[in-house]
Amino acid sequence: TNTNTNAVALHNTHVKLLAFDLLSLTQSPFPSSDATTSFFRRGIPISRVETVGTITLRDLKHDRFLRFAVDDGTACVPCVLWLNDANSPSVARRRRHELAARFAALVKLGAVARVRGRLSRFRGTLQVTVSDVAIERGPNAEIFHRLDCILLARNCYNILPPPSSYTPPQPPLPLPPPK
């Protein structure tokens, strides 16, 4: 397959990233054609992310939004969960609000959560506009996520060329020997 296609395919995929990597994404100086803000990692467009960490901030603006932060040990990721569709005439928006309200109830200080969402920028700061939240109950969830991020970066994200150029795919890097 063409790695160019694979790079573009990451655009609407929830890309697993550590917080320091997520916060270092660059933003396109040009508006995107699909009305979403375009962010890039090494020239690869990324619009959706997944992160896992401890909830370290929770600020609820009743019936408007829940702002919270997820700390994975490398940095804190600002997140926003919109709650303002409760009185919408649209059935789909009311259902989305009900789901968001359930997610908001899960977000508690000190809980370990898996957060997925769309990248956005607010007042110059990158944030995740949350689409779903799951509380992780396993004691190893954070370390497994960290290992997934390292392996994906090494074997997938770092070997993809920017969509504007094509080079033959490189073989994945070998895993380090066990200690």
* DSSP annotation of 11: G
Torsion over CA: 88, 91, 93, 94 (sign): positive
What are 10's two structure tokens? 């990451």
Distance CA 36, CA 50 (A): 17
E strand or H helix at 143, and its extent? helix 141-155
pLDDT-derived band of residue 8, with 50, 70 and 90 as boundaries?
low
Whether residue 1 is predicted with pLDDT greater than 60 in this model: the reply is no
Phi-psi region of 124 (alpha: psi -120 to 50; beta: other; left: phi over 0): left
Tokens of 5: 């296609």
**pLDDT one-digit tens code per residue, 154-176:** 888 877 555 555 444 556 666 67
Q: Per-residue pLDDT averaged across 125-142, rounded?
A: 93
Quote the pTM value: 0.77
How many Cβ atoms from other residues are within 10 Å of residue 46's Cβ?
21
Apex CA 55: angle with CA 12 and CA 65, to 5°? 65
Q: Cα torsion for 131, 52, 125, 22, to the nearest 10°?
A: -110
Q: How far is CA 62 from CA 107, 117, 158, in A?
A: 14, 21, 41
- Distances in Å between the Cα of 121 and the Cα atoms of 47, 78, 179 are 12, 10, 41
Instruction: Determine the residue type at 57.
Output: L
